[in-house]
Amino acid sequence: MSIIYRKLLPVVILVAFSTLLACNSREENDNFPLLKGPYLGQKQPGMTAEIFAPDIISTGHAEKNGFFSPDGKEFYFLVFGEGASFIAFMRHEEKGWSRPHLAPFSGRYEDGEFSLSPDGNALYFTSNRPLAGTGKPEDYYNLWVVTRTKTGWSEPSSLDSSINTQDPDLFPHSPSVTSDGTLYFYFRTKDEQGNWDIYSSRLVEGRYTRPERLGDEINSDQWEFDPFIAPDESYLIFCSRAPGGYGASDLYISFREEDGSWTKALNLGDKVNSIRWEFCPCITPDGKYLFFASNRRFKLSQSETTMTFEAKIKFLDRELNSPGNGHSDFYWVDVKALEKLKPKKIR
């Protein structure tokens, strides 16, 4: 990535999103499409992963980490780039789905991966916001939470010191929470050679226990990250760079046995994974669809490869500013594509 591009990307993302927000006051004569029905009115996918809401959620910028509220009337997602990362949302209103809005607690600092609690009343997220509440951002990331109130979301609160290390070389990422409040996340070091492993921490009398590393059925000597834990803790979907996959990182699943142990993680296969990165998985609250992010790229068709130079430049200019340009987009697939991976004894 060029130095100029790295410096401009956060500005481009914020300006583009600010322009989008400025359009919220327009009436029906604006260019934002009328979206009605479940899942932003999008046609549901089949057994092979498809891009979700192209040019609405999946754009020429970089997006990942999307969650629907339990009632299906809100969708939260992360827009990110180097030096800029914030949480946005859309809401189903009387006339249909709103344009994207900036979450009221996000936008000032770098807010990263997040998840909604199964009841939709809490949102856990990663952030470099100062622990003091004001001032310069921290050099490390902590886990924070906002809870629903009668008037919206509460002010962010940092989780306790059993999880937040305040160590610039070791900090938690990508929280996922069960119905009883147990948190799953991964620790990421600033050392690019360091492993990323998945941990869990239980909520006991209002405080989180010391994080415990999951076993070798899930963690390897490579990177494991971005866990999604089922509300009842019956399965775990996560990302791994373990050898034998299809690309840079793949999605895997492990099921919880009756004795509390985990089955050996299984790759979700080529209907989900690609030759590039797959990450930030989640299952919709109704249990019907797997959502995830990927930086897979479009391919030129045979007719497009024989275009004139001028036509190809115009084509690439359009495509490089559209979904599938390799930044990061949302994909979704019917969960039936995963059913064959579930052990017969616990189906």
Site of tokens 């500013």: 321
Q: How many CB atoms lie within 10 A of CB 161?
A: 11
Q: What are phi and psi of 9, to 5 degrees?
A: -55, -50
Is residue 28 in a domain? no
Between CA 39 and CA 19 the distance in angstroms is 24
Taking the whole predicted model, whether its pTM rises above 0.75 is answered as yes
Between CA 282 and CA 20 the distance in angstroms is 26
CATH number for the domain spanning 244: value is: 2.120.10
Residues spanned by the domain of 228: 3-22+44-346
Is residue 220 in a domain? yes
Is residue 257 in a domain? yes
Least confident of 145-154, 165-174, 253-262, 296-305: 296-305
| Confidence at residue 219, expressed as pLDDT on a 0 to 100 scale | 94
| Confidence at residue 26, expressed as pLDDT on a 0 to 100 scale | 38
Is residue 39 in a domain? no
Q: 315: which residues sit within 8 A by CB, 6+ positions away?
A: 304, 307
Is residue 36 in a domain? no
Written as six digits, the tokens of 17 are 């999103």
| Confidence at residue 32, expressed as pLDDT on a 0 to 100 scale | 85
Confidence of residue 24 (pLDDT cuts 50, 70, 90): very low
Is residue 27 in a domain? no
Between CA 74 and CA 181 the distance in angstroms is 21
| Confidence at residue 9, expressed as pLDDT on a 0 to 100 scale | 41
Between CA 345 and CA 195 the distance in angstroms is 33
Share of the chain above pLDDT 70, in %: 83
Spatial contact of 195 and 223, defined as CB atoms under 8 Å apart: yes
Is residue 285 in a domain? yes
Is residue 31 in a domain? no
Least confident of 96-110, 132-146, 205-219, 266-280: 132-146
Closest CA to 181 of 153, 162, 207: 207
Our count of domains for the chain comes to 1
> 133 pLDDT exceeds 60?
yes
Least confident of 71-75, 164-168, 210-214: 164-168
> 326 pLDDT exceeds 80?
no
